[in-house]
Chain A
Amino acid sequence: GAGVSQSPRYKVAKRGQDVALRCDPISGHVSLFWYQQALGQGPEFLTYFQNEAQLDKSGLPSDRFFAERPEGSVSTLKIQRTQQEDSAVYLCASSFWGLDYNEQFFGPGTRLTVL
Chain B
Amino acid sequence: RKEVEQDPGPFNVPEGATVAFNCTYSNSASQSFFWYRQDCRKEPKLLMSVYSSGNEDGRFTAQLNRASQYISLLIRDSKLSDSATYLCVVGGGADGLTFGKGTHLIIQP
User: What residues make up the interface of A, taking CB atoms closer than 8 Å to B?
Assistant: 33, 35, 40-45, 48, 56, 58, 91, 99-101, 103-104, 106-109
The reply to whether B43 and A106 contact each other, CB–CB distance below 8 Å, is: yes
Contact residues of A: prevailing secondary structure: loop
The reply to whether B91 and A45 contact each other, CB–CB distance below 8 Å, is: no
Expressed in whole angstroms, the minimum distance between the Cβ of B79 and any Cβ of chain A is 23
State how many residues of chain B have any CB contact under 8 Å with chain A.
24
26 contacts between A and B (CB under 8 A): A33-B96, A33-B97, A40-B8, A40-B101, A41-B101, A41-B102, A42-B4, A42-B99, A42-B101, A42-B102, A43-B99, A44-B99, A45-B96, A48-B96, A56-B94, A56-B96, A91-B44, A99-B93, A99-B95, A100-B32, A100-B93, A101-B31, A101-B32, A103-B34, A104-B97, A108-B42
Contact of B96 among A41, A99, A103, A108 (CB under 8 A): A99
Given contacts A100-B91, A101-B91, A107-B43, contact A45 B101 (CB under 8 A): no
